[in-house]
């Protein structure tokens, strides 16, 4: 595996789940939970004649960013597309539970200075959603993760990191949207239904999944940033995400909570207004929406690097947060 210093310069899209987990926290601080040595594969896959992974496609552990303990969940898209099954989901759930336990411990031990030591959860999403091999177990895992996110409300931040090749789709798209903060790169993708599934069900005229430029304009980091579905856009390096995490950790929790996109009646109403706008606008391409929000020549944004894009791109104004 690359060293921590090498990982900071490495492309996020080219690193695996374990490398991302090590590189997203301070140098030398990451400790893995339930590693492959513990041999905890899915009990369902052998029955179906499928290959197993001793970490079941997800790396979990703890590290530090400054004084703050950071519980990391990092999905591996090279194992069944990062799909979530029983064991994969249980590891995610337990990581958040441990973070909540740490929250109580920190408050008790540091009653006068606990805010600067508050734990956080960072989830590096790389998944197509539910593992179809495990159907009900996978769906239940999604629900349990959402339940833990709800338990964390008002206590610790849950931060989504999306920049890997598979993206964040399916039921995990809901989970990603439910986090407090979303950090994406241009190469990251976020949505409910993946492009290939849309094309399969609705036809190529509806959505051409082979048109990669279209796919990234619709589900990629630039579009999500303009629409405020992503709070921050960073360059495609592990260090780019790590640096942004450091900046988020400096913010008071009350400020972090303002980044949420869902979770209250008012936020739901804001999202419903966007649905209404989509119908009224009749956009044929995401660039039509970019122009609506004040980007007079949206085509120029497509090829811009993240630094230049962030300087000129105009975003949807949020009524809340």
Rounded distance between C-alpha atoms, residue 282 and residue 41, angstroms: 47
Rounded distance between C-alpha atoms, residue 56 and residue 133, angstroms: 13
**Which of 72, 80, 91, 88 is CA-nearest to residue 19?**
72
CA distances 172 to 145, 296, 305, Å, are 9, 34, 28
Residue with tokens 């606008």: 281
Evaluated on CA atoms 264, 269, 273, 276, the torsion sign reads positive
At residue 320, the pLDDT reads 67
Read off the pLDDT of residues 240-294 as tens digits, 9 standing for 90 and up: 999 999 999 999 999 999 999 988 889 989 989 999 998 999 888 999 999 999 9
- pLDDT at position 195 over 90: no
Read off the pLDDT of residues 300-317 as tens digits, 9 standing for 90 and up: 999 999 999 999 999 999
Q: What is the CA radius of gyration of the chain?
A: 19
Beta bridge partners of 59: 74
Rounded distance between C-alpha atoms, residue 158 and residue 153, angstroms: 9
Mean pLDDT of 98-115: 92
At residue 278, the pLDDT reads 87
Rounded distance between C-alpha atoms, residue 101 and residue 252, angstroms: 20
Write down the mean pLDDT value for the chain: 93
At residue 112, the pLDDT reads 85
For the entire predicted model, the pTM comes to 0.95
Q: How confident is the model at residue 319 (pLDDT cuts 50, 70, 90)?
A: confident
Q: Provide CB contacts within 8 A for 287, sequence distance 6+.
A: 217, 298, 299, 302
Read off the pLDDT of residues 18-35 as tens digits, 9 standing for 90 and up: 999 999 999 999 999 998
Is residue 194 a contact partner of residue 169, using CB atoms and an 8 Å limit? yes
The percentage of the chain sitting over the pLDDT mark of 70, rounded to a whole number, equals 99
Of the listed ranges 35-44, 57-66, 145-154, the one predicted with least confidence? 35-44
Domains of the chain: 4-190+229-262 (3.90.226.10)
Rounded distance between C-alpha atoms, residue 182 and residue 157, angstroms: 11
- pLDDT at position 321 over 60: no
Mean pLDDT of 206-215: 88
Q: How confident is the model at residue 196 (pLDDT cuts 50, 70, 90)?
A: confident
Rounded distance between C-alpha atoms, residue 276 and residue 296, angstroms: 22
- pLDDT at position 318 over 80: yes
At residue 132, the pLDDT reads 86
Is residue 194 a contact partner of residue 128, using CB atoms and an 8 Å limit? yes
Of the listed ranges 51-55, 99-103, 217-221, the one predicted with least confidence? 51-55
Beta bridge partners of 190: 168
- pLDDT at position 209 over 90: no
Q: How confident is the model at residue 135 (pLDDT cuts 50, 70, 90)?
A: confident
Beta bridge partners of 189: 220
**Two structure tokens written together for 140:** 């239940």
């Amino acid at each position: 595996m690359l060293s921590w210093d090498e990982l900071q310069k490495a492309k996020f899209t080219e690193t695996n789940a374990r490398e991302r987990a090590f590189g997203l926290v301070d140098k030398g601080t990451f400790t893995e939970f339930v590693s492959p040595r513990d041999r905890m594969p899915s009990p369902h896959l052998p029955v179906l004649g499928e290959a197993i992974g001793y970490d079941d496609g997800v790396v979990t552990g703890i590290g530090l960013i400054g004084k703050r303990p950071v519980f990391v969940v990092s999905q591996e898209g090279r194992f069944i597309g990062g799909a979530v099954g029983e064991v994969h989901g249980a590891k995610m759930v337990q990581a958040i539970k441990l973070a909540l336990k740490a929250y109580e411990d920190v408050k008790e031990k540091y009653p006068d200075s606990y805010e600067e030591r508050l734990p956080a959860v960072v989830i590096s999403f790389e998944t197509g959603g539910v593992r179809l091999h495990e159907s009900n177990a996978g769906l239940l895992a999604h629900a349990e993760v959402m339940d833990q996110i709800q338990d964390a409300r008002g206590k610790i931040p849950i931060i989504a990191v999306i920049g890997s090749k598979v993206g964040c789709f399916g039921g995990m798209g809901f989970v990603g949207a439910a986090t407090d903060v979303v950090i994406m790169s241009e190469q990251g993708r976020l949505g409910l239904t993946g492009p290939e599934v849309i094309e399969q069900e609705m036809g190529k005229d509806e959505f051409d999944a082979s048109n990669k430029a279209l796919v990234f304009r619709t589900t990629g980091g630039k579009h999500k940033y303009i629409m405020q579905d992503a709070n921050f856009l960073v360059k495609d390096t592990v260090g780019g995400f790590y640096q942004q995490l450091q900046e988020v950790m400096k913010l008071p929790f009350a400020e972090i909570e303002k980044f949420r996109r869902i979770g209250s009646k008012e936020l739901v109403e804001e999202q419903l207004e966007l649905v209404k706008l989509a119908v009224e606008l009749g956009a044929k391409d995401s660039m039509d929406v970019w122009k609506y929000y004040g980007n007079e020549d949206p085509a120029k944004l497509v090829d811009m690097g993240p630094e230049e894009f962030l300087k000129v791109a105009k975003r949807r104004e949020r009524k809340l947060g």
